[in-house]
Amino acid sequence: MFGKGHGYAVDQATRAEQSRFVMDSLRPAQLRSHVDPMLREVEEYFAKWGDEGVVDLKHEFTQVLMLIASRCLLGSEVRDKIFGEFYALFADIEGGVNPVSFMFPYIPVPVNNRRDRAQAKLAEILCAIVRSRKSCNRVEDDMLQRLIDSRYRDGRPTAEGEVSGMIIGLLFAGKHTSAIASSWTGACLLTHPNSLRAALEEQKQAMRKYKDGKVDWNALSDMEILHCCIKEAGWMYPAAPLLLRKALQSFIVQTKEGNEYDIPAGDTLAHPVMLTSKLSHVYKDPEVFDPDRFRFGREEDKVGGKHSYTVFGGGRHACAGEAYGFMQIKIIWSHLLRNFELKLISSFPKKDWSKFVVEPKGKIMVSYKRCRM
């Protein structure tokens, strides 16, 4: 799906180095410069809403997150010139994630053909951008540039095909998951008045504290209540409810009751995030939407042990984009809370289990009215 220069198409040592490039370029310290571009995209997008109206939040979040991704991951060449074409092709890649392609990835059925054509075309577009930046010595402040500038331990620069594979992979990993988390956050906040009130009050305080009410890195870091609301919604409704790992060596697992189980090398292990999030000896009242469980003082995810919070996976393959994901969702929700009164008018969504990444089922219809905080 991501071409021949990335992911499971390359050997393990190369893959480990590529994971390092991705991790390094998504570290919190690297993310500060993305706040302003993200904010600009969010402000421009929601400026197009009228004074009042009705929207499907899921659709709105998908759109605005695509724009943010084009600006911050892919860069101005895609964002300003070929946004529509790029995303039509990307949709064909996403269409390749379905049960038939999962079981038979290489049979010549239309979804697989469209996926492969789109991958080849996207790689061609991205390779041309990389080549043009290099030949003009043009340096941009985006994720694509960080991957272009990455170096393997032996000093070798990343190749065009590798960069295009890594960036398509990032887009794939980050866009849909963030749209889902933003949508659940909305559904939860708009049905829990106490949490909504607390999140609004926090926004008011941030507007008073920061000069001209400008949202910057420090203001975002201060928004602990909003952060915990997003975290709680993502924890109650994880996008990836099951994580899989293969045991390369045999080992023994001990339960809290002291029972021991041998895990033989070669076995595939499933970690059910849906169930481990609901363990009542780790989390208090796990069925109740209670964002305070993650706040300083309680931090149930930390006191529960290393792997009790696995919404973003864990270990070597833990999500590289957690901080980036939180940042973009916080920017979106901080903007919505400060500028609109919102009401959920459809019923609270059910989980759509028919998708590989579990999302809210159907539309999330919300009425909005413009206001100024």
**317 touches ligand HEM by CB under 6 A:** yes
Q: Which is nearer to ligand HEM, 96 or 325 (CB)?
A: 325
CA distance 117 to 162: 18
Q: Nearest approach, Cβ of 278 to ligand HEM (angstroms)?
A: 17
Please report whether residue 96 would count as binding ligand HEM according to CB under 6 A: no
Q: Is 239 in the site for ligand HEM (CB under 6 A)?
A: yes
> Taking CB under 6 A as the rule, does residue 177 contact ligand HEM?
yes
We find the least distance from the C-beta atom of residue 70 to ligand HEM, in angstroms, to be 12
Q: Which of residues 104-163 bind ligand HEM (CB under 6 A)?
A: none
If we measure between CA atoms, which residue out of 151, 160, 152, 167 comes closest to residue 133? 160
- The sign of the CA dihedral 93, 2, 272, 322 is negative
Tell me if 19 contacts ligand HEM by CB under 6 A: yes
Residue 48 has a CB neighbour count (10 Å cut-off) of 7
> How far apart (Å, rounded) are the C-alpha atoms in residues 174 and 194?
30
**Applying CB under 6 A, does 360 fall inside the site for ligand HEM?**
no
Using CB under 6 A, pick the residue from 86, 87, 235, 312 that binds ligand HEM.
312
* Contact with ligand HEM (CB under 6 A) among 178, 183, 185, 334: 178
Q: Do 55 and 345 contact (CB within 8 A), yes or no?
A: no
Beta carbon of residue 123, minimum distance to ligand HEM (angstroms, whole number): 18
Q: Tokens 């002291």 sit at which residue?
A: 258
User: Residue 74's closest CA among 193, 195, 170, 210?
Assistant: 170
**318 binding ligand HEM? (CB under 6 A):** yes
Tell me the number of residues near ligand HEM by CB under 6 A: 23
Query: What's the rounded Cα separation, in Å, for the pair 31 and 29?
Result: 6
Tokens matching residue 150: 């990455």
In angstroms, give the least distance from the CB of 334 to ligand HEM.
16
Separation CA 225–CA 356 (nearest Å): 30
Looking at beta carbons only, is 312 or 368 nearer to ligand HEM?
A: 312
DSSP 165-226: HHHHHHHHHHHHHHHHHHHHHHHHHTT-HHHHHHHHHHHHHHHHHSGGG---HHHHHH-HHH
Q: Is 321 in the site for ligand HEM (CB under 6 A)?
A: yes
How is residue 350 annotated by DSSP?
P
Stretch that binds ligand HEM, among 50-58, 107-115, 237-245, 279-287 (CB under 6 A): 237-245
Query: Does the protein bind ligand HEM through residue 186 (CB under 6 A)?
Result: no
C-beta closer to ligand HEM: residue 308 or 367: 308
**319: annotated binding-site residue?**
yes
DSSP 85-135: HHHHHHHHHHHT-SHHHHH-TTS--HHHHHHHHHHHHHHHHHHHHHHHHHH
Listed ranges 192-200, 215-223, 248-256, 313-321: which one lies at the site for ligand HEM (CB under 6 A): 313-321
Q: Using CB under 6 A as the criterion, which residues of the chain lie in contact with ligand HEM when the complex forms? A: 19, 22, 170, 173-174, 177-178, 181, 234, 239-240, 243, 311-314, 317-321, 324-325
